[in-house]
Structure 1
């Protein structure tokens, strides 16, 4: 079980865990500014339980507990590339999530994590580690270089000057062979052609390498890659480990060439450790358990097949796995446990987390730097997708023309009053649905990026929403302005120019409220499908109490709160007052019931129970517009 072979690389030297001498892997000379504390990471007695209730009305005693990880212990040292392997359901992903502090709220975790002799909490690893997740999430309208610059601005220490950040970006691109595609868009599936899958995976590593982390976690780094690209990725990871980093990754069924690149392997089976040690020793360990790997067989495939639960021999498989894990615990596992236990003793004089302050900000960049970086990125997203912009403007124009033709040239008579009121309410309804569904369809896909970058300590959530909303203000203003310009005079609404601009201002506010409501729905939904399913049911109650379908005085007292929070209500009242307040005459000649005739604009407002306190004040030199509305 000796691991000296893992540390024989002359490119990495250290006198102790606290005194660091980082050496350039090519020349053997000190690396200068790229110093980092090497990390020995160990975990002791990790158990994970998942609680699941039998149903909505189940009692506490009906809660079922599933034991996912069972007393898992291990250690990974500087200069090592450790692969966590096992069959599906073995617990390898759960273990990685625990090690990275991403266990989840529905899991109960026991055990302890230790770094260089000191116990740590998972959130302390954020500033000293990197986590390359299986799914590569990027803003596809950025180039490779722009993505790395964005990451460098937000993830590197604020004391580092801009010139050094750019130098680091160039260095990382060179190390991971991204120079050739640095000015290529990352790409959006089905819309924008971008970089290849291998380049995308290398970009994910590059983003994490910018901060020069001593500890790295990788979840299925070869997922979706062909055998050549998978080998290239693992070779890059091996090179990173040789520079003194501690790298832990999960991997599913690697080729024999890829498996040979790992220093050590952790084999999981049924939530237990079946083996942890050198890859060469793993074959001998299984041979001593009467499981001999053929000489021409991929060892990784052999281990996974041996540790899998075969459906046709389920009892025998589980029995063998239990005996193999027991044998490991009684032999090799004792040595691993002693190493992990030794690392758990706080006997060091210093720790890599000595500079960590419990109440310090988890963000490397200042609030202003965060805002500027996210604002620039949001602007580039809009500018680089002109097709989306053209589609939105065309959709707005076509809808406005259609509604304008339906309500074309209304007269100021009894029918015209009804038709114009319907047209005004349709303006609100159309802009609401158009903007809510527009946001839901786009923002739900960006939520995963937001959550990942926020949890990585890149920027605050309010920074993201504020920067994105400000970047989208031009479009949020242009769309309702275009809508009003097309439809207003086609319908024949109040022709005075001041009324035109008041109507435009009200609908600009409606559009922005709808955008905000779309963000609200997106944030409370797990995916696009759920957001689309609940959008209409959530909007319709606000629409019903908007004053068009139900008179304001007829709202039931138990629903009055809906009326007060409905933007349909305020917008419809404002537009109605703007339209009818100074109309002195409405024709009654075409009505069959003269007693119910609406003779002027004030009669229309009275019928809706709307009251205008002040609407317009003008003089000959300039135009002052004041809009004050009350019930």
Structure 2
């Protein structure tokens, strides 16, 4: 080859000179280096053999002319450039080219590893191939399954995606987690016994038998599975449906060398069953490198090479850049294609030369031809099109389970997670009992006189305040904390947004009925409130409504917040106006007219009025001194002091029920909007 086409080696990247040998050296000394892998990938390593993919369901996944652009312009820069820049400058400002005209093919039975330095575009390409790019990312190009152009819904139904970060409900056991996955991810025609049998099979396949009844764990709070076991559990979750196509984003990150080897062995075994496996991987060891069937080397958003490791050795040896003897080829390729600070121009020149050489090579042209000529050919096969898309127009529901099956599964998981959460059950029960005893001891044995009226009115409002803050902060982190997990599972087609919201909220209703009843039952008679039994039961119903109205408002705050810390920060300021409009600190007739509309959303107002009416209605035996002018003579006078009316009692009850429904509907629509916003 010409001298100007020779590739600068480590010296150009700032790593120093390396003795490459001479042109007459043997293939071993010239850089054709494969580290022998002494382990064997056998089914005994994973318990039982993995289920093979039928030949008619195997997938060749190809992509042609994939380009990815990121919108990096700020609002200020857009406005400035729209006024002062040309159209070309505005487009350059708007878009950053991340992945550039990438073609590729992944075949059944192959483990394709995407390698490259940080910033090379590995994860960006994988997100584009799986239709998981973020909102500010635009993707062009064609993605095909067996030559048939595929959309996101169809691809989700036939593929699995193991993401880099493992997300679970930490209080569930391995078996409970997999059972839930089986209920919502497997085909709806399968019976429950068949799903459980598949769970048992996957537990054995992934060697999770020893930890099947162990809690997954919550970092810093609940000890559970190790990092390697969590990664195997992630694979097990995706293996339940036995997908023909698997994507993995850096599955070995954060694992030691032994666990990383174990994970790649799992991927290799999956490929042996006929699956098409595509993964990005960061700095694989020589043992891992020896297990890859195909390599896709990326640099600066372009493909530097796609082929077998042996073909990679030959390709770079022809460029006079062979891998040194006894050197890890993965490390060598990553370093060769890296952009080193203070030497960017030389590195980019070398990278562009390699990428251009690959595009003109026989291997590169074959990949380009195969990924492009297949587009549309497979559309003639009606049976396969129906298998892929489900209907002739290509629109198929992404959900495997029916609405009722999804709801039962989500409700079951939510109920389990609550029962296994000690802070939610024990601490809140203890808190409820302790606060009620404190209030009962402080206000013990109130006499119905002038002072007693003031004390009773005060403690009734304390009931509302305690129930509000206790219940709002009990649920304020429900949706904000689980939002990443919910979005991931929703995108995987596991359940609908309304199913998740209903399941989470309905599972918690028993606690928001039981705890207020415990609270009022302890302190009601200790304080000496209206002793008529019907009045006690009415008070129980009122505090349950107040607790659930506050809980519904807490759900709304949780859905509005992007994080738990944000929810905790905005919660108290949003509650304070409703508290002031409750009629205790500010007479309802004194509310400014421009805030009057806001008072209609205050459960403090309706709850306070209902409790006072229940306490003082038809009461005529208030003890007053003869010389006292300000002492209320009967219950009607007490209510008039707050501008409350006995006739508004049922209106208050209906209003609290309406607030419960309104706040929960608002929370649901906020969550639904966030779901579509993050897709």
TM-score bracket for the superposition, by shorter chain length: 0.7 to 0.9
Partner Cα distance (1:33, 1:391) in 2: 50
1:370 lines up with 2:406 in the alignment: yes
Q: Which piece of structure 1 moves more, 377-386 or 214-223?
A: 377-386
Matches within 5 A, 1:153-302: 153-302=183-332
Alignment partner of 1:396 is 2:432: yes
Q: Corresponding residue for 2:369?
A: 338
Residue number among 587, 598, 607 corresponding to 2:632 in the alignment: 598
- What is aligned with 1:77? 107
Distance 2:573 2:300 in 1: 44
Q: Is the 8 A contact 1:614 1:628 kept in 2?
A: no
Offset at residue 378 of structure 1 (A): 2.1
Structure 2: how far apart are the matches of 1:489 and 1:420?
12
Return closer, same or farther for 1:566/1:56 CA change in 2, 3 Å cut-off: farther
Distance 1:466 1:548 in 2: 34
Write the distance in 1 (CA, Å) between the matches of 2:140 and 2:590: 59
Match of 2:28 in 1: none
Q: Which residue number corresponds to residue 9 of structure 2? A: none
**Mapped partners of 2:50, 2:436: distance in 1:** 68
User: How far is the alpha carbon of 1:606 from its aligned partner?
Assistant: 1.4
**8 Å CA contact 1:215, 1:247 repeated in 2:** yes
Distance in 2, Cα, partners of 1:140 & 1:362: 26
What is the correspondence of 1:445-464 to structure 2 with a 5 Å cutoff?
445-464=481-500
Asked whether 1:65 is paired with 2:95, we answer yes
Larger RCO: 1 or 2 (CA < 8 Å, sep 6+) = 2
Q: Counting helix residues as a fraction of each chain, which structure ranks higher?
A: 2
Determine which of 326, 341, 344 is the counterpart of 1:311.
Answer: 341
Work out the CA distance in 2 between the residues paired with 1:221 and 1:400: 51
Which runs of 5 or more residues in structure 2 are unaligned? Answer: 1-45, 83-92, 657-679
Q: Work out whether residues 91 and 269 of structure 1, in 8 Å CA contact, stay in contact via their aligned partners in 2.
A: yes
Q: Contact 1:99/1:122 (CA < 8 Å) preserved in 2?
A: no
Shift of 1:372: 1.8
Q: Tell me if structure 2 keeps the 8 A contact 1:115–1:344.
A: no
Distance 1:235 1:306 in 2: 27
Q: Which structure shows the bigger proportion of residues in strand conformation? A: 1
CA distance in 2, matches of 1:353, 1:226: 43
Q: Deviations over 1:285-336 (max 9, x none)?
A: 3344443322222222222222222223233223332332222223243232
Q: Which one is further off, 196-205 or 460-469?
A: 460-469
Q: 1:181 & 1:109 partners in 2: Cα distance?
A: 41
Which of 55, 65, 72 is the aligned partner of 1:45?
65
Describe the SS at the equivalent of 1:613.
helix
Is 1:565 equivalent to 2:565 in the alignment?
no
Kindly report the root-mean-square deviation, in angstroms, between the aligned alpha carbons of the 2 structures: 2.8
Structure 1 range deviating more: 55-64 or 332-341: 55-64
Shift of 1:92: 1.1
Partner of 1:89: 119
1:143 shift after superposition: 2.4
Distance (Å, rounded) in 2 between the aligned partners of 1:242 and 1:230: 19
* Contact 1:40/1:343, CA 8 A, preserved across alignment: no
Q: Is the 8 A contact 2:50 2:270 kept in 1?
A: no
Query: Take 1:96 and 1:614, find their aligned partners in 2: how far apart are those partners?
Result: 61
Q: Is the CA contact (8 Å cut-off) linking 1:583 and 1:601 kept in structure 2?
A: yes
Rate the CA distance shift 1:82–1:417 in 2: closer, same or farther, 3 A.
same
CA contact (8 A) 1:612 1:629 kept: no
Deviation for aligned residue 1:248: 0.8
User: How many pairs were matched up?
Assistant: 592
CA separation of 1:597 and 1:319: change in aligned 2, threshold 3 A: farther
Change (3 A) 1:413 1:67: farther
Report the alpha carbon displacement of residue 442 of structure 1 after superposing the two structures with TM.
4.5
**Separation (CA, whole Å) in 2 of partners of 1:461 and 1:165:** 23
Number of the residue aligned with 1:545: 581
Take 2:77 and 2:645, find their aligned partners in 1: how far apart are those partners? Answer: 50
TM-score, structure 1 as length reference: 0.87
Deviates more, 1:596-605 or 1:530-539: 596-605
Aligned to 1:473: 509
Counterpart residue number, 1:136: 166
Q: Which residue of 1 aligns with 2:556?
A: 520
Distance, in Å, in 2 between the alignment partners of 1:437 and 1:138 is 23
